[in-house]
Amino acid sequence: MKPRDLTELVLLAAIWGASFLFMRLAAGPFGPIALVAVRVAGAALFLLPLLAWRGQAAWLPRRAAPLFVAGLFTSALPFLGFSYAALSITAGLSSIFNATTPLFGALIAWLWLKDRLTWPRVLGLAIGFAGVVGLAWDKASFRPEAPGGATGWAVLACLAAALCYGFAASYTKRRLAGVPPLAVATGTQLGATLALLLPAWWWWPETMPSASAWASALALALVCTGLAYILYFRLMSRVGPTNTITVTFLIPAFAVLWGWSFLDEAVTPAMLAGSAVILVGTALVTGLIPRGKPKVLPQAPERESAP
């Protein structure tokens, strides 16, 4: 990468790492559903003028249905999962579970898109998910009276969110190939906004959130979603997906740093060990640890495509 690309990659990781901090600050006052609605609506309003300026707005009605579905799985559902988790587990821990996204993505791409799995990638999946099990075993509790509450549900919400991201990658590749990235970003935020309008109205907080909670929600919308999408897709076009995916490795470091700096969150040896195991597995899955020319596994059996 050129120095400019590396700078933008680190900036993107810092921004997405901060999203876990802002969710911790705003999820309580807003509630997960209202917070996510504000986040995606603000991002859509931020991106729409840019899309119109680029002359790409015609893509939205043309591909409305797949953009709506992609919006559910790239934004609405995973954002809800992480916002719910922010009520009971730390920003750093949530971000570590978020790092499993490439693992789920590789597994779904093998099952659905028939992407071949090499033996190093299979090893990476095994190592990565072993790290998840170990970390979840250490942190998950389903007893409300346990320290931090029923953290087990929060862990499951994080993993469900990462699974949604993994599915979204394959769905976007299958259903939205050829659509400009900015149109995908904008359309998915609009789709997520439409999906959450009624739930957000129904579960809107009775007490108006504080100014600081609103500031965190707007930072999530404008910086961690709108601006982050622009950086992400620009990097994809300049340095390719393999280099861009390395942002996954940097996000937990920044999330842990922001949580420790601003929320006084503890960093435990179990978190560090689990994070290291997950990231090693992710590196193998994404090919960042080259292994020559390994054998490949047979393709997954034919399955019906999702609608």
* The predicted structure's pLDDT at residue 303: 38
CA dist 103 and 122 (Å) reads: 10
d(CA 155, CA 139): 8
92 closest CA partner among 257, 279, 280? 257
Res 295: pLDDT: 52
Question: C-alpha angle 182/245/137, rounded to 5°?
Answer: 120
* Per-residue pLDDT at 50: 94
CA-closest candidate to residue 56, choices 181, 154, 223:
181
Compute the distance between CA of residue 285 and CA of residue 117 in angstroms, rounded to an integer. 9
Residue-level pLDDT at 222: 96
Q: How far apart are CA 90 and CA 154, in angstroms?
A: 10
Residue with tokens 């779904």, as numbered in its chain = 108
Euclidean distance between CA atoms 221 and 211, whole angstroms: 15
Residue numbers of the chain with a pLDDT score lower than 70: 1, 138-150, 240-242, 288, 290-307
pLDDT, position 305: 32
pLDDT at res. 100: 87
The answer to whether residues 112 and 170 touch, using CB atoms and an 8 Å cutoff, is: yes
Backbone angles phi, psi at 289, to 5 degrees: -110, 95
**pTM, rounded to two decimals:** 0.86
